[in-house]
Amino acid sequence: MEREQMLQLTGFQPVGDVGRGLLLGFPAEAEVLSGFMKDGLTLRLYGDAATGKQIKAMNKQLKDDARLNGKVSIAADAETPGVAGVVTISAAGEGDINSLYRNAIDAVEKLFREEGINPVPNCPICEQTGGDTLVHFDGPLCVVHMTCLRNWKNAREEEVALKAHNGGHMRGFIGGFIGGVVGAAPAFIALMLTNYFVGLLFALIPLGTFYGWKLAGGKLDRITTIFVVLYSLVVGVFVEIIDSWLVLREALPAFNPSLWYTIQVYLNPAHRWHDLFFRHLLMALGFTLLGIFISWSMIRKTDKHELADNQAAFDEAIPLSQLTRDR
């Protein structure tokens, strides 16, 4: 069966490579599977996320349903926010896909009702019912009021323009400076209280720096990315140097080494403390880089990217009046 014919089973509106619509009251996306022994359809339903126990119980009942021939399953989707479950319908070797689709939807409706899995009824912007538009908003596919969506989009555009007009970089630098210190606090406290290097805590430094910049109202652009990366590395190094300095002061109380002396230890391979300190410094840098890698998609996203994403979501919004079926 061709992709277009497969999507016609759902009655969804085509948007790029997927179809979007309402299914059993859930905002849903349909994607056609193709390839060797993979012909079929996936239906991603957005709402209350099913638990692992619920997924297991529902799959057992689907497997036992003679109408489905073992060709229907439900899975969780931990990577996509707000997904109730992902229904996969395999059409490989199936003569009557129309009948299989109808039986699958009937079975899923019954299982979701029994398990208490429901769509989110409220518009995520105003928290009121009565939405009239289907759109991806802040991750999940959901039903919103077009008026709310338009007002939110205009407000974000005005906010970005205001940041650019008010010298958003300076506010960002101040917020990022403070945020980096806050992000480094857990790693520093762990070193002080337990005298133990907890590398993963250094990964929080880039997050603290970025959110400090953002919460202070800083303009998000390439300068933000460069600052977050460089400042996070500087803070990671600084935390480790301060810890090494305090270690030296405790180990050599009579000498009372200065901070400059501690830095010289790092620069002098012959010093007896050099290898230990330098190894910890490299570990601190490594875990800070790990934090940058983990949060890279967030750090590199600029105001222009966000506005483009908002505009794309707005352009792809589908009025519920254009959806012809809810099955």
DSSP string, 65-124: -GGGTT-EEEE--TTSTTEEEEEEEE-TT-S-HHHHHHHHHHHHHHHHHHHT-----S-T
Contact of 177 with 228, CB cutoff 8 Å:
no
* 208-229: average pLDDT: 91
Q: And the tokens for 205?
A: 């430094």
Contact of 268 with 274, CB cutoff 8 Å:
yes
Per-residue confidence (pLDDT) for residue 38, from 0 to 100: 61
* 285-310: average pLDDT: 89
- Percent of the chain at pLDDT > 90 equals 42
- Percent of the chain at pLDDT > 70 equals 93
pTM of this prediction?
0.70
* 60-79: average pLDDT: 88
> Which residues have C-beta within 8 Å of that of residue 226, sequence separation ≥ 6?
none
CA atoms within 13 A on the CB side of 191: 24
* 134-139: average pLDDT: 89
Go through the chain and tell me how many residues it has. Answer: 327
Would you place residue 96 in the very low, low, confident or very high pLDDT band (cuts 50, 70, 90)?
Answer: low
β-pair partners for 130: none
Q: What sign does the dihedral 169-170-172-176 (CA atoms) show?
A: positive
- Distance between CA 142 and CA 155 in Å, rounded? 20
Which range, of 6-15, 175-184, 254-263, averages the lowest pLDDT? 6-15
pLDDT > 90? residue 67:
no
Runs of H (alpha helix) within 216-299: 222-251, 259-267, 274-294, 296-299
Would you place residue 220 in the very low, low, confident or very high pLDDT band (cuts 50, 70, 90)?
Answer: confident
pLDDT > 60? residue 285:
yes
Would you place residue 36 in the very low, low, confident or very high pLDDT band (cuts 50, 70, 90)?
Answer: very low
- Distance between CA 302 and CA 309 in Å, rounded? 11
- Distance between CA 264 and CA 121 in Å, rounded? 63
